[in-house]
């Protein structure tokens, strides 16, 4: 890769700071936000992406079959202190579609959207698999907590989401 290409990639990531990596496997195109990895003290980004693709093979296959999925990949990255999600999707490339993976550090934007409200109200974002993608307690995201077997998840997927949200009272140790 020429220094001009490297400069363009660096500029792309400088303008899209939350993007961590862009991978288009069928085209052997992989681009990483070297600054994000360097600041995080992570030196093996290609190994990490390969691990994400291997561990989430079923997600990869579903995305290749035209499903768009967002998953929590935080547990697959050592020493991570903020949640990281990845988008798996198809996009048009020329006359055909290509599969791509984009891990993104959206911890700041998601953290703002799930900040604890006045009182005891907390907001969380979960995906269709039941994985917590955003929660005021980031340890629940970093720990890869899954709510698929919870009453809340069952209620959401049986009754749907009126207005895109559901009110649920979660049991806590404090109660």
| Token output for 12 | 């792309």
Q: Is 146 helix (H, G, I), strand (E, B) or coil?
A: strand
CB-CB contact of 30 with 99 (8 Å) = no
Q: What is residue 57's predicted lDDT score, i.e. its pLDDT?
A: 92
Q: What is residue 175's predicted lDDT score, i.e. its pLDDT?
A: 47
Confidence of residue 83 (pLDDT cuts 50, 70, 90): confident
CB-CB contact of 135 with 126 (8 Å) = no
Please provide the DSSP assignment of 74-107 as one string.
GGGSTT--S--EEEEEEEEETTEEEEEEEEE--H
How do the domains of the chain map onto residue ranges? Answer: 3-105, 108-164
Give the CATH fold of the 3-105 domain. Beta-Lactamase (3.30.450)
CB-CB contact of 55 with 107 (8 Å) = no
pLDDT tens digits, residue range 24-80? 877 788 888 888 888 888 878 888 888 988 999 999 899 888 889 999 998 888 778
CB-CB contact of 123 with 136 (8 Å) = yes
State yes or no: pLDDT of 168 exceeds 50. yes
User: Which of 57-61, 67-71, 110-114, 151-155 has the lowest average pLDDT?
Assistant: 110-114
pTM tops 0.85 = no
Alpha helix (H) residue ranges in 16-150: 34-39, 45-55, 57-64, 107-113, 138-142
User: Which of 2-6, 48-52, 95-99, 113-117 has the lowest average pLDDT?
Assistant: 113-117
Mean pLDDT (whole number) for 148-161: 77
């Amino acid at each position: 890769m020429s220094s001009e290409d490297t400069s363009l990639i660096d500029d792309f990531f400088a303008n899209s700071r939350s993007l961590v990596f862009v991978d288009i496997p069928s085209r052997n195109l992989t681009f990483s936000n070297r600054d994000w990895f360097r600041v995080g003290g992570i030196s093996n980004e290609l190994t990490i992406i390969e691990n994400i693709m291997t561990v989430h093979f079923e997600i990869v296959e579903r995305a290749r079959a035209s499903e768009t999925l967002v998953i929590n990949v935080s547990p697959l990255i050592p020493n991570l202190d903020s949640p990281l999600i990845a988008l798996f999707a198809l996009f048009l490339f020329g006359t055909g579609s290509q599969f791509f993976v984009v891990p993104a550090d959206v911890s700041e934007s998601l953290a703002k959207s799930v900040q604890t409200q006045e009182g005891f109200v907390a907001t969380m974002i979960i995906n269709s698999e039941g994985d917590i993608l955003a929660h005021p307690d980031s340890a629940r995201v970093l720990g890869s907590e899954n709510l698929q077997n919870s009453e809340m998840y069952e209620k959401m997927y049986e009754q749907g989401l009126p207005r895109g949200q559901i009110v649920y009272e979660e049991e806590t140790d404090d109660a």
